[in-house]
Amino acid sequence: MLSELIAGAVADASARRAVRSQADVERAALDRAPALDALAALAPADRVKIIAEVKRASPSRGALADIPDPAALAARYETGGASAISVLTEGRRFGGSLEDLEAVRARVSLPVLRKDFIVLPYQVFEARAAGADLVLLMASALEQADLVELYALVTELGMTALVEAHDAEEVARAVDLGASVIGINARNLSTFELDPGIFPRLVDRLPSGTIRVAESAVKTAADVARYREAGADVVLVGEALVTGDPVATLTEFLAG
């Protein structure tokens, strides 16, 4: 599944590059106002923080929500107390787009994460050109040399990388990179199986000062509370928000 998703992301990026050259995208990225300070927004606090996700579908669950106006949903997330907004821009299996990200960026004052299968420098420049403040970099999708290259580019453009891992070897690679924000994903993106115990098993491998993000396997406030008790500074939530009342759900999740 992961290989298929990466191949699709590369094909789609190549199609966009045929229309809009890398030089044009680089200029647009450099012309954007500076990225927002995501490290400050996600810094550890006396309560858990939430990255709230605009997510229409997933390969494991299919269609989740129509979301005709992603900016309006993001505004509700901001009202509900989210610390950042994640926007899925992958179109084939998740139903997202860069236009979604641009619309969200124009509407909210929170940092915005581009969540996609980022494997090319072109995609990083696209993210900044569209207004992203954070970019997801998945260790499972990248060889270490490529991860290092893309992490450096994200940083050079003034954005923050959320480096995602889902096993001990990938956590070690993220730590070696010096990543300030590391996500531990309970979902294995090769099989899409969930293991909620992955975060508690691996979190102690993250150095002091790292912003620790728990991802996936969040359905209830109790799930958020368990991640918090295990050491999460931030929890990324998508499906539970788009399939219910986002403000009420966020309020409940943050209360724990």
Reply yes or no on whether 219 is catalytic: no
Reply yes or no on whether 215 is catalytic: yes
Catalytic choice (49, 86, 115, 126): 115
Catalytic choice (90, 140, 185, 239): 185
Catalytic choice (49, 55, 140, 180): 55
3-state secondary structure of 124: helix
Catalytic choice (90, 126, 164, 170): 164
Q: List the one residue out of 223, 213, 218, 224 whose CA is nearest residue 239.
A: 218
Catalytic choice (78, 102, 126, 215): 215
Backbone angles phi, psi at 229, to 5 degrees: -65, -30
Burial (CB count <10 Å: 0-12, 13-18, 19+), residue 21: exposed
Reply yes or no on whether 115 is catalytic: yes
Catalytic choice (26, 53, 102, 239): 53
Q: List the one residue out of 107, 48, 113, 106 whose CA is nearest residue 81.
A: 48
Catalytic choice (102, 170, 216, 239): 216
Question: Which tokens sit at 104?
Answer: 């969200």
Helix, strand, coil % over all residues of the chain, rounded to 5? 45, 20, 35
Q: Which amino acid is it at 32? A: R
Reply yes or no on whether 26 is catalytic: no
Looking up tokens 């550890």 gives 44
DSSP 194: B
Residues carrying an active site annotation: 53, 55, 115, 164, 185, 215-216
